[in-house]
Amino acid sequence: MQQRDTAADRLADVIQVAQLGRKTGILTVERGKGAAFEEGMIMFVNGQITQASTGWRNGLDALSWLNTWEFCHFAFVRVSTPGTSSIHLAPAKPHNAFPDTSRNGKAAPATLYATGNGREQEQQGMALFRVIIPCRIRQSDEALFLFESIGLSRLHRRLFLLIDGQRSTTELARLIGRTLHEVSSLLDDLERCGVIQR
């Protein structure tokens, strides 16, 4: 793994650059010293965040925490073209991947052990980690009537109208200008109403 010698004032900016640049690879980060030392990891596949962990946090919880980090050091190991050297990531504790949102409902494996050449690693990354993509399960007019009757916010409506079965949670968060944690909470509300599924 590369030495984390690049400094950043806000980790959220680094994450956004990787997303907008559609990067594939592993971002490792650290901050603090001694008892205050923390480190984390985020995996990207074509700019989509597929895994995150730091300390005892995993998944969206870890990503939300990492997005609050200010001054830190990071390194990004790209996995993009055939022939890229192997990345061996064998954490002491398993890192949970984001939930699989395909309609068959099968959970994705929880730990990444990337081996082999670059092409194999990319295929492993795509197969092991799936991005959360919510889908509507009710028609717009029916759902909007329901929102009106139970008093959901305009933001809930806006988010629902942006859900097209193609956009990931990350893209939706970007479009409505909210954090992944906020969008996840809004999606929970929509799912409880029975208008979407993940």
Predicted confidence (pLDDT) at residue 66 exceeds the cutoff of 90: yes
Least reliable range by pLDDT among 127-131, 152-156, 160-164: 127-131
pLDDT at 161: 92
Q: Is 118 helix (H, G, I), strand (E, B) or coil?
A: helix
Q: Tokens 């309609």: give the residue.
A: 103
Average pLDDT over residues 81-101: 37
Predicted confidence (pLDDT) at residue 104 exceeds the cutoff of 70: no
Question: pTM of the entire structure?
Answer: 0.44
Q: Which two tokens stand for residue 63?
A: 């990503």
Q: Are 195 and 143 in contact (CB under 8 A)?
A: yes
pLDDT at 102: 38
CA distance 177 to 197: 22
pLDDT at 100: 38
Average pLDDT over residues 159-178: 88
Residue 175: HSE in the Cβ half-sphere, 13 Å Cα cutoff: 15
Could you tell me which of 68, 72, 86, 67 has the C-alpha nearest to residue 25? 86
Return the ∠ at Cα 124 (arms to 7 and 49), rounded to 5°. Answer: 40
Q: Encode pLDDT of 127-139 as tens digits.
A: 333 457 888 988 8
**Whole-number percent of the chain with pLDDT over 90:** 19
